[in-house]
Amino acid sequence: MRNLFYLVLIGLVVYTIITLVQRAAAGPADPTSGGGRRPSRRPGPTAPDDDPAFLWQLELQRRRAEHDSKDSGGEGDSGQEHPGPRGTTDHLPE
């Protein structure tokens, strides 16, 4: 009976050490998930204001609104090309 007690005690200590080593190797826990490993993140922007394409669309809208407010009915530069993100070109929306 005494040997069984020592066997269980040694097993418990070994299990605790292995679990602690695995958690340490996994990195810090994510506090929002209640513990455990961090969820894997997707590559790319996480918010619209981090996305260059979204920011470029906002810039086009701003330029169009500015163009419309300055040019009330006259001929404008609607065919003029403007540099876009990463060296691309784009037209102002009609």
Query: pLDDT (tens digit, 9 = 90+) per residue, 63-93?
Result: 999 988 887 655 545 555 555 555 555 555 5
The per-residue pLDDT for range 11-43, each reduced to its tens digit, is: 999 999 999 998 888 776 655 655 555 556 667
Partners of 89 in the beta sheet? Answer: 83
In this prediction, residue 5 carries a pLDDT of 92
The overall average pLDDT reported for the chain is: 75
**CB-based contact 43:59 (threshold 8 Å):** no
Asked if 90 and 79 count as a contact pair (C-beta separation under 8 A), the reply is: no
User: Can you say whether the dihedral through the CA atoms of 19, 20, 25, 31 is positive or negative?
Assistant: positive
What pTM, to 2 d.p., does this model score? Answer: 0.31
